[in-house]
Amino acid sequence: MTEKPVALIVLAAGQGSRMQSDLPKVLHRLGGLPLVAHALAAGRVLEPQAVVVVAGHGAPAVAKAVAKLDPDAQIALQDQQLGTAHAVSQALPALKGFEGRVIVLYGDTPFIGQETLASLAAHPADVVVLGFEAADPGRYGRLVTGPEGLERIVEYKDADEATRAIRLVNSGVLAADAALLRAFLPRIGNRNAAGEYYLTDLPALAREAGHRVEVVTCDEAETLGINTRTELAQAEAAFQARARAQALEDGVTLADPATVWFALDTCIGRDAVIGQNVVFGPGVTVESGAEILPFCHLEGCHVSAGATVGPFARLRPGAELGGDVHVGNFVEIKNSVLDEGVKVGHLTYLGDAHIGEATNIGAGTVTCNYDGVGKHRTEIGAHAFIGSDTMLVAPVRVGARAMTGSGSVITQDVPDDALALGRAQQVTKPGLATRLMQALRQKKGN
């Protein structure tokens, strides 16, 4: 997308003490995924050659989460949090041999737009700082610009009244050529009140050496950083509002938009219909024309065109629903494939199973997939009929066009076209019900 190759450095080492949490700040969830996932997702538009995440506080947990989000990302460790310039310097060894544009992002700043990142990557200046016009500049560092671009960044505590009146402020996000970072980061000192090495000193050093330093601006909303639980809640509300608006614009019907909750990676096709109070966890794809009825929870699943789900259904990771599948109320599906036209009406659990096309699953059916140690699979062929209240004790296979009687416990494979009955013989005792109830009432009266 750019003339120069791009690498990303994502700063994610901070503790986030104002969150009042043992969890590293960048692992708090927004849109169903850790905060750091948003920075990584935004950066993917640049097709970076390398991604380095700088971890510090809770580094093992951060590294584990990043490995799931982006297996190709590298982790750099910042044992001591000595400032942003120090953090970037810890990442540079992972970029050995890289020559191109490096963009420094923050793991707790989730809303940087793809267009903004593209502007940073493509800008011809040697150093590009991302700024914004603040409604309330407060204690942000001010960006002092002139005819030749960015002249300096002035921290609030060091600014005079004229400088504090400037509304163009620093977001902290910065882009610079890799060679320039290698040359100038070692020159940044820590002679300040905090004794830290600040990346904000880089632009002035570069300009003094004759390099071109410029500012790219974005909307203030893109720079929202998360430092407290209140800010996290506000960010969640902003994220959901954007996701709902985007879904409507994309041709998705939301019966009551305010009650539908999306994840960062939710993918819904046009003409899908989403009912009230539906929650999408991470990893959900709903194809065009499918319908999710009210009060459903979906995570890590795929719903094909023409399928209907709910109300009150739960699709867990690994659930794959084929075209025109019907999953009804109080049905839970986990790590199972339902081929085209399968019907699972209600009150059923299907785990670690493959259900063949046009099969009907009766109410109360359970795949007994766990023996206390390991999980086992259930295979049901096409056009089978599973009677209500059938317990399928895995591993087990029910053949094509086969049937099970209601109330059966199936522990052995059922051949194609066969009927399986696995229940105790009924015994009837005439008059015993009346005599038993009379005896119980008499005992209670005593």
Binding residue per annotation — 13?
yes
The span from the CA of 177 to the CA of 7, in Å, is 10
Catalytic residue among 346, 354, 376, 383: 346
195 is in an annotated binding site: no
Q: Is 140 annotated as a binding residue?
A: no
For β-strands 168-177 and 101-106, DSSP reports them as antiparallel
CB of 308 closer than 8 Å to CB of 290: yes
- 107 in a labelled binding site: yes
Q: Is 108 annotated as a binding residue?
A: yes
Annotated ligand binding at 227? The verdict is yes
Could you tell me the two tokens for 132? 């914004």
- Report the phi/psi class of residue 312: left, alpha or beta, with left for phi > 0 and alpha for psi in -120 to 50: left
Say whether 156 counts as a known binding-site residue: no
The response to whether 32 counts as a known ligand-binding position is no
Of residues 416, 3, 351, 102, the one with CA closest to residue 338: 351
Task: Tell me whether residue 17 is annotated as binding.
Answer: no
Distances (CA, A) of 258 to 137, 243, 248, 279, 358: 32, 11, 12, 11, 35
Specify the residue for token string 């790590």.
Answer: 335
289 is in an annotated binding site: no
Check the annotation: does 329 bind a ligand: no
Do the annotations mark residue 64 as ligand-binding?
Answer: no
Half-sphere exposure of 432 (CA within 13 A, CB side): 4
Q: How many CA atoms lie within 13 A of 370 on its CB side?
A: 7
**Per the annotation, does 162 bind a ligand?**
no
Residue 83 to residue 69: CA distance in whole angstroms: 26
Task: Confirm whether residue 197 is marked as ligand binding.
Answer: no
Nearest to 296 by CA among 316, 268, 321, 324: 316
12 has binding-site annotation: yes
| 430: CB partners within 8 A, 6+ apart | none
User: Distances from the Cα of 164 to the Cαs of 138, 142, 194, in angstroms?
Assistant: 9, 7, 21
Q: Residue 219, annotated ligand binder?
A: no
The helix or strand, by DSSP H or E, that contains position 439, with its residue range, turns out to be helix 432-445
Backbone angles phi, psi at 37, to 5 degrees: -65, -30
- Do the annotations mark residue 83 as ligand-binding? yes
Q: Is 11 annotated as a binding residue?
A: yes
Q: Flag whether 434 is marked binding.
A: no
Pair 16, 35: CB distance under 8 Å: no
Is 265 one of the annotated binding-site residues?
no
What are the residues facing 367 on neighbouring strands? 392
Q: Do residues 19 and 246 touch, judged by C-beta distance below 8 A?
A: no
Residue 354 annotated as catalytic: no
423 among the known binding-site residues? yes
* CA-closest candidate to residue 232, choices 19, 425, 75: 19
Give the annotated binding-site residues for UDP-N-acetyl-alpha-D-glucosamine.
Answer: 11-14, 25, 78, 83-84, 106-108, 141, 155, 170, 227, 316, 334, 349, 360
Give the annotated binding-site residues for acetyl-CoA.
Answer: 363, 369-370, 388, 406, 423
Give the annotated binding-site residues for Mg(2+).
Answer: 108, 227
Catalytic residue numbers read 346
Give the annotated binding-site residues.
Answer: 11-14, 25, 78, 83-84, 106-108, 141, 155, 170, 227, 316, 334, 349, 360, 363, 369-370, 388, 406, 423
